[in-house]
Amino acid sequence: MMRAFLNSVTSLKTASLTARMLAPVWAESFVNLVILTLGKPELKTDPRVYEAALRQQIDIRVTSLHLNCSASEASGPQAVQSSRSFRR
């Protein structure tokens, strides 16, 4: 009985740690996907500018989405507040 309980606790701990470690990677991949699919044409045509946009730190990429993407309407204080909560 106790061994089964310990096995389930270990399994849950492993799953929790895996999700905690992968969540930032998934979030960064999603931001890169948004830049790839919704990026402005001038961003996509110049490889150096595109690489520079992708190599910025994640908080800067999230904050500047409205500058790099054509469909992003979030700008100003609301975008800054949402990027702050993303960094936490």
pLDDT in tens, 7-21: 999 999 999 999 999
Please report the pLDDT score of residue 47 as a whole number: 93
Q: Please say if the pLDDT value at position 87 is more than 60.
A: no
Q: How far is CA 27 from CA 22, 33, 47, 57, in A?
A: 9, 10, 23, 13
The Cα 71–Cα 74 span in angstroms is 9
* Confidence grade of residue 24 (pLDDT, cut at 50, 70, 90): very high
What is the Cβ-side half-sphere exposure of residue 53, based on CA atoms within 13 angstroms? 26
Please name every residue paired with 41 in a beta bridge, in sequence order, or none if there are none.
none
Would you say residue 45 has pLDDT above 60? yes
- Tokens for 12? 């849950």
| DSSP code of residue 64 | T
Mean pLDDT of 38-42: 92
